[in-house]
Amino acid sequence: MYIHRPLEDKDLEHICTFPQTEEELFYMFPRAYYPLMPEQLLEVARSRHDSTVVIADGCVAGYGNFIEVKQGDYCSIGNIITEPSARKKGVASYLIRVFVDMAFQRYSANYVRISCFNNNTPGLLLYHKLHFRPAELEERRTLDGGRVALIHMHLCRRDNYKAPYI
């Protein structure tokens, strides 16, 4: 069973260990430099909304936030990452469901947005399982200048949502 709470400063150093490679960090936080440092994470957390951690067995096992909140319209989820030993155990699903509930209940959003790079197959499959559907595609550049597609996905309140989602 998982619980969640707001991000605390004491969590930053541990969360910085979650991205195991430069590629994983790019999926989580494309503008960050590897290895992720607490200062980078704190700076982005301060510019976002509802930075939240998932607790499993007393330890931080997941992290995410809202990139953008437009009351009564939409919320965009970002920076989703799980602790490596907690992957494939439902932590990310739980966290995304927390954000979906927040978006629909607290912010009266009509839809929730989440974005995923085309080569992040586990992320794409997870979001699809959670009923997010592709809505837009944007060309981006990797840190080494390569081309990559950022797939923007939506979950509409009217589609497949039953409160509480978690």
**Could you report the per-residue pLDDT of 15-68, keeping only the tens digit for each?**
999 999 999 999 999 999 999 999 999 999 999 999 999 999 999 999 999 999
Q: 74-82 and 111-117: which strand pairing?
A: parallel
Q: Is the pLDDT of residue 146 over 80?
A: yes
- The answer to whether 138 and 147 are in contact (CB under 8 A) is no
Domain that holds residue 88: 3-156
Cβ–Cβ < 8 Å for 112, 99: yes
The pLDDT of residue 143: 85
Total structural domains within the chain: 1
Does some domain include residue 34? yes
DSSP 145: S
**Which CATH number goes with the domain that contains 140?**
3.40.630.30
* Residue 166 located in a structural domain: no
- pLDDT surpassing 80 at residue 87: yes
Return the pLDDT at 161. 63
In a domain, 50, yes or no: yes
Tokens of 73: 């319209």
Q: How many percent of the chain have pLDDT more than 90?
A: 93
- Partners of 140 in beta bridges: 148
Q: Let me know if residue 164 belongs to a domain.
A: no
- What is the pLDDT averaged over residues 118-144? 96
3-state secondary structure of 12: helix
166 has a pLDDT exceeding 70? no
